[in-house]
Structure 1
């Protein structure tokens, strides 16, 4: 059995479902839904009121052993198959092994199935049959460790009913992964408690540039666009007059005489 408190377990049952359950005048009045619905005896008695020809109560035992639970639910599953009643296998397994919220949700499914009424469930969060919602309400110092989380969310009856070691290892790993995600969220919510130092990027002051900043990309693109438009406008004008520039020529006679003297000196040297 799980070791966390039992207070939150009855909050998932709407008042209409409780009134309907009391109107059936059952031989056993459920007080602890997780414990009283686990063996399937109350579930069999509920369906007996609607299908008396298919349910024989004398074949069900109101015991607490794992063999009694599996035997009662095995008969119920055969009855569900015969009547084409679709009850979630996950809810049934969660109810057998006293998972948090499983019995309450199973009772609501049975209520909708037998009465054809719609109800607004009080449990809007994602159902994972763990004590995550209860752990979120506790202060950080009182929350479970990884070992405690595995012990609280995986019961002994669950491991005995499923002898496959690999499946049990997968269940344990799923609980540990959920616990690590919760720890990571705690570090994000309260980084000072875990002495998490901010990174350089988080410490850097980010000031967004103004829209008319001359160094921004938008201004540069606007400049290039304006220069292109101005050059294209200049090229498009046909009546533009260009002024001719007069360049003064130097004395070419001096250049030719110097070249002649250089050529004669080179000829004498070779001879």
Structure 2
């Protein structure tokens, strides 16, 4: 994060920022982002539930208020992206020092891209299943059902493993005490990050389970419809 960006990297970063709708016009990067508010808006653009903008002090604030904003982001928002800005870097950013904010924003962009890719990778294959598939033949319906059940089974195993991991970490972390302040802050940061990541995965799995169960309900309804149609046409349909 302390690396100075090349000109082309800064241009690329500015192009990325231009695509984000901010609450106020961007005029000078190092001043616009010094209070942390626009940084929070960047995160909220991609992850609306990650940050509450009302908890931050309004722009054009004092140095103390700017530091408060950054401290709040470091404690409650950045960990959700596995991101952390050192205090010495924050001090430079708050003072609008030349070249201080660009590496922070560049690293933040990398973390955001990584988080988006991680979320995308957790989407079940069945997200791509067209509901119209359930309007086809009984064989197609059974194929969808088999895929849904397999996905549900995998999700159940994943969730059980996550819960087990969370319990294990609590036990391990309770077996010792970190006394040095710097190590303690890092220890707490890493612990909270692991918990947040695991909780996020659990939420995603729970949402997917609900969607898959809904697909199963639609499958059952369609089977009933096909059974009635075939019965009315004099066919004996065995599913």
TM-score (norm 1): 0.36
- More relative contact order, 1 or 2 (CA 8 Å, 6+ apart): 2
**More helix per residue: 1 or 2?**
2
